[in-house]
Amino acid sequence: MSETFDVIIVGGGGSGLATAVSAVENGLSVLVLEKEAHLGGTTGIAVGSISANGTSIQKKAGITDNPDDQDEDIGKFSPAGLEERNNAELRRFFTEHNGETLEWLQSMGLVFHGPNPEPPNRVNRMHNVVPNARAYIITLQTRFMKLGGTIKLNARVTELQRDGSRISGVVISGEAGKQSFNAKRGVVLAGGDFSSSPEMIAKYKGEEYASIEGINPHANGDGQNLAIEAGAKMVNMDVTYGPEFRFIPQEGKTFIQLIPVSGPIAWLMGKVMPLIPDKMINAYIKRLLVSWQHPEDALFADGAILINQNGERFCNENESPEREIKLGKQPQKISYVLMDKRLTDKYSEWPHFISTAPQIAYAYTKDYLSIRPDIACAGKSLDAVCDTRKIPVDTLRKTIADYNSYVAGENKDAFGRNGDTNPIQEGEMVLLGPAKAYFTMTEGGALVNTSLAVLDEDETPIPGLFAVGQNGLGGQIIWGHGLHIGWAMTSGRVLGKLLAKA
């Protein structure tokens, strides 16, 4: 006999848990099914910003803001040609409701720092959760369980069940075999993105991108595939955040991850946060920066070269996404940025930073060397840095000689760089890396209406099926920080209430 719940949620990341809490708060019985052994998904490894308008934090800072302004500003971030593809109705719906979402999250005890600037937003509207995005997961999970919700881990949903035209439940498959569950009011797809599915990347983005990994290795596109099987109209499946050139994450636990996200110390941090000087908070944000932001392209335009583990160049460093595509095909898919003394000196002070969250914090060479010694090494000679990173120095010396003879105008650059004026000088050197090409997120999902109902090819709701977060991005183009978690939380909060009214 299958168990029955009002609502079944496929995925225990940010959007799934937000839906779950909102639905139980409104009196529904809810089951969350998570395929991994722990909750969190991409939300759990994110930085944690939410950009929202009309919040009490903005008001306290004397900032007046509104949904129309935020909607218009979001449009200024998107890469050329994408804004025309935006689902205008859904994005306006999002900006209408995200302020209330921030109040809802604060009412559960989450603490935000900000609002921080992020040009070209006309006002400060980036709110950074303290200490990091894991706090969303712990807070939502705790509240959900307190209110009597049910969570099953290691429970991968592999099928949706139908009763006539209505989606009426799900099937999970695991070591114990198959098990089914019934949903009286709806099944909610909250399975995240497909940045780590080479098959889906090849199909929707192009074969040449298939060797590039996603940052979250578990983002496998199950939610999108379940939607497709149910007959959903899929939108923006080719739109991706990245591929981007990023340093590999630190093994084991970083300092940031060691900060407790629950319990008395986290509570205390929340209370004292307003008293901590901005300078200290910015130093903390700098840690996040050095962990997750990608290095500025200016570094390459200025003469840094990219080498693989064999000490060879393999691309025109100034050409993206070709750079990332070729990087995905190098040994172990890794590369290093080589900087001589001229470059390390230059990238040691404003306005030449290696990475940034504009107007909040800037990270320079010394920040990388002190905060991330695993991905930044300095040496008195080329031999020294090669020794540290196990790169054959003779090959690298030949690579530099070839590059310098191109700079001297003696040959054409084999990889099509042009206009470089600075040769690489042996002496004190810095190697940044290993770095890989990663997809941060994929933006494709089911088309949904403002009730978060999944629509079929005729744009008619599929009865009983809903989607939130990345599964239900619905064709919105939301570039810029803080919009994806903002949507995950907002779509979940709103849907939980709507399901209770249904």
In angstroms, rounded to a whole number, what is the distance separating the alpha carbons of residues 215 and 220?
A: 11
Nearest distance, CB of residue 360 and ligand FAD, angstroms: 12
CB of residue 285 to ligand FAD, shortest distance in Å: 11
CA distance 463 to 232: 11
CB of 185 to ligand FAD, least distance (A): 19
Least distance between ligand FAD and beta carbon 423 (Å): 36
| Cβ 238 to ligand FAD shortest distance, Å | 17
Q: What is the DSSP string of 376-407?
A: EEEESSHHHHHHHHT--HHHHHHHHHHHHHHH
* Interior/surface letters 54-65, b for 16+ CB within 10 angstroms, e for the rest: bbebbeeeebeb
Pick the closer one to ligand FAD by CB: 156 or 342: 156
Half-sphere exposure for 153 (CA within 13 Å, toward CB): 7
Position with the least CB separation from ligand FAD: 13
Name the minimum Å distance from CB 225 to ligand FAD: 8
Torsion, Cα of 107, 113, 118, 124 (10° steps)? 70
Residue with smaller CB distance to ligand FAD, 51 or 308: 51
Residue with tokens 């590369």: 335
- Single out the residue of 339, 337, 365, 340 nearest to residue 350, CA to CA: 365
Could you identify the residue written with the tokens 């403002």?
A: 450
CB of 21 to ligand FAD, least distance (A): 13
Of 168 and 440, nearer to ligand FAD (C-beta) is 440
Q: Are strands 240-241 and 156-163 parallel, antiparallel or unpaired?
A: unpaired
List of residues contacting ligand FAD (CB under 6 A): 10-16, 33-36, 40-43, 45-49, 156-157, 190-192, 215-216, 218-219, 222-223, 292, 440-441, 469-470, 481-486, 488
* Closest CB to ligand FAD among residues 452, 485: 485
Structure tokens at 365: 């060479």
Burial 346-361 (b: 16+ CB within 10 A, else e): bbeeeebbbbbbeebb
| 394 exposure class (CB count in 10 Å sphere: 0-12, 13-18, 19+) | exposed
| Closest CA relative to residue 201, chosen from 21, 467, 438 | 438
Q: Which is nearer to ligand FAD, 45 or 494 (CB)?
A: 45
The nearer residue to ligand FAD, 311 or 433, going by C-beta atoms, is 433
Instruction: Output the CA torsion 108→114→115→116 (10° steps).
Output: -140
Residue closer to ligand FAD (CB basis): 215 or 325: 215
Q: Taking the complex as a whole, how short is the minimal distance between the CB of residue 416 and ligand FAD, in angstroms? A: 31
Q: How far apart are CA 354 and CA 364, in angstroms?
A: 5
3-state secondary structure of 215: coil
Q: How far is the CB of 414 from ligand FAD (least distance, A)?
A: 34
User: Least CB distance from residue 43 to ligand FAD, whole Å?
Assistant: 3
Closest CA to 403 of 315, 295, 310: 315
Q: Which two tokens stand for residue 275?
A: 């008293």
* Separation CA 230–CA 462 (nearest Å): 8
Choice between 96 and 222, CB closer to ligand FAD: 222
Instruction: Give me the least distance between CB of 40 and ligand FAD, in Å please.
Output: 6
Minimum distance from CB of 415 to ligand FAD (Å)? 29
Tell me if 115 sits within 8 A of 67, measured CB to CB: no
Q: Which residues contact 125 (CB under 8 A, 6 or more apart)?
A: 51, 52, 53, 55, 58, 63, 65, 70, 115, 118, 482
Q: Are 337 and 299 in contact (CB under 8 A)?
A: yes
Nearer Cβ to ligand FAD (223/496): 223
> Which CB sits closer to ligand FAD, 130 or 386?
130
| Nearer of residues 35 and 372 to ligand FAD, judged by Cβ | 35
- 3-class DSSP state of 425: coil
Q: How far is the CB of 430 from ligand FAD (least distance, A)?
A: 24
Q: Are 65 and 53 in contact (CB under 8 A)?
A: yes
Residue whose CB is less far from ligand FAD, 11 or 149: 11
19 or 399: whose CB is closer to ligand FAD? 19
